Structure 1
Amino acid sequence: MAAVLTAVVALTALTAAACAPSDPPPAEASDTATDALRRAVESDDTTAIRQAVDDGADIEARDAGGATPLITATKAGRTDAALALLDAGADPNAKDSIRDSAFLYAGAEGLDEILIATLEHGADVTSTNRFGGTALIPASEHAHVSTVRILIEAGVPLDHVNDLGWTAIHEAIVLGNGYAEHVETIRLLLEAGADPTLPDGDGATPRELAARAGYDRIVALLDAAA
């Protein structure tokens, strides 16, 4: 009888253990998975990224510069890694210590594939960088024409003024070179409804800035839009 009771008790314990909810992975296992995630991002290994996430990696873990794995992948131009992280739920709006997010950096640097993916995963089109500017302003400065088109279509504010007192049009003129890409950038901004008369922080209009720089084609665009 004692043997039977012992067996019943043991079976009950095993059944309870099988039905109990599984415990979360220990912190050490999670840390190991996060380290594996960082290594996977460095090697642009999407399979390893997905495995690390499945193993409990902290997808929003910060490095010494405050960058998440997604920001690290984006700044390194590792498109496959960035897309895999976004698909796994990484936050496109998380910012590092210098206020770059994957969305803002991809916009500024013309990383269109990553940019589109951040938008598809909920990027905040009104977010601003350390200069108080939207993604559209540096994209216009650098004359990333395709990127400017994407950001306009996404609804980034056209006349947002950054901490320097510049809109996207101002920055494309002041920090641009007047060549074809900058002319096309300003044409796109004007066509989308950007204000051609809005003065900068010093009171200079876009036309005055373009005229001072000798950018005749830009002056002509601004005159036609005014």
Structure 2
Amino acid sequence: MRRYRTSLALAAACLLASPGWAQVPPSAAQISRYTGLHAAAQRGDLAQLQQLLGQKAELNSRDAQGRTPLHVATFARQPQAVRLLAGAGADLGLLENDRYDAVTIAAVADDEATLATLLALGASAQLTTSRYDGTALIAAAHLGHDGVVRQLIAASAPLDHVNNLHWTALIESIVLGDGGPRHQRTLAALVQAGANLQLSDRAGNTPLQLARARGYREMVRMLESAGAK
């Protein structure tokens, strides 16, 4: 029982210090100070972007938070701006100061359209991101963004990456989820994709044990049906 209490306490502590909350979009004050590509990317102003790109503006310039115009366009849900910047040669894999790439930014935002654009343009779903040494898949699984999870799985995201909290995407779908329909669909997608059902947390609890401890009956049923122990 002690190890369950340890896992529950860790999960509670991490709810306010987990990938979804650590990400910092541009503030209104920062946006008001943007110029050049950053400003055009935020607005999704394609004509201005094209003009600036024609003038050889620095594609990967950074704001005070280390965000490139591509990061800003992704935060602003501007997939066409993302496409234009990428086509001009913007680096799709750069991390901003909190170590998020554009794919993880879109994943946390549950922005399936921008994520699909990034992945189609060749952005990687395999990068290690965030202060938790996680992945976009772990961040999306924790938030129950099941459509995003399916996109990332299809893009060969690492199913069994273990972050520095000693959690996988499958574990986060349980310990940082609410057991509801979206987290159930997230878990189902991970199980169907072949995620390891036996990898345990730092206290030695398996996903099945964690789901049982939380009373997530449908998750328990899915895990048991898949052969989890």
TM-score relative to the length of structure 2: 0.80
One-letter code aligned to 2:138: I
Distance 2:90 2:112 in 1: 18
Distance 2:83 2:201 in 1: 37
How far does the alpha carbon of each residue in 1:54-109 deviate from its partner, in whole angstroms, 9 at most, with x for none?
11100101111111001011122233322321222211101111111111211222
Secondary structure, counterpart of 1:65 in structure 2: coil
State how 1:209-224 maps to structure 2 within 5 Å. 209-224=210-225
Distance 1:138 1:177 in 2: 15
Distance 1:45 1:168 in 2: 36
> What residue in structure 1 maps to residue 198 of structure 2?
197
One-letter code aligned to 2:67: A
> What residue in structure 1 maps to residue 118 of structure 2?
118
State how 1:18-97 maps to structure 2 within 5 Å. 35-97=35-97
> What residue in structure 1 maps to residue 105 of structure 2?
105
Unmatched tracts of structure 2, length 5 or more: 1-33
Distance 1:200 1:206 in 2: 8
Distance 2:203 2:146 in 1: 27
How far does the alpha carbon of each residue in 1:156-207 deviate from its partner, in whole angstroms, 9 at most, with x for none?
0111111100001110100100011111110110011011121112210001
Aligned residues: 193
Contact 2:68 2:96 in 1 (8 A): yes
Contact 1:104 1:128 in 2 (8 A): no
State how 1:126-141 maps to structure 2 within 5 Å. 126-130=126-130, 131-141=132-142
Distance 1:84 1:111 in 2: 18
Q: CA RMSD in A?
A: 1.5
One-letter code aligned to 1:209: L
Distance 2:126 2:100 in 1: 13
TM-score relative to the length of structure 1: 0.81
How far does the alpha carbon of each residue in 1:125-173 deviate from its partner, in whole angstroms, 9 at most, with x for none?
2211121111101111111111111101110011111110000111010
* Structure whose CA Rg is larger: 1
Distance 1:115 1:90 in 2: 16
Runs of 4+ in 1 over 3 A off after TM superposition: none
> What residue in structure 2 maps to residue 22 of structure 1?
none
- The share of aligned pairs that are identical, in percent, is 39
Contact 2:38 2:68 in 1 (8 A): no
Name which of structure 1's ranges 38-47 and 95-104 shifts more when overlaid on structure 2: 38-47
Contact 1:50 1:88 in 2 (8 A): no
Distance 2:105 2:41 in 1: 17
One-letter code aligned to 1:65: Q
Unmatched tracts of structure 1, length 5 or more: 1-33
Aligned pair 1:157/2:158, yes or no?
yes
Distance 2:186 2:39 in 1: 38
Secondary structure, counterpart of 2:190 in structure 1: helix
Distance 2:35 2:148 in 1: 33
Name which of structure 1's ranges 106-115 and 96-105 shifts more when overlaid on structure 2: 106-115
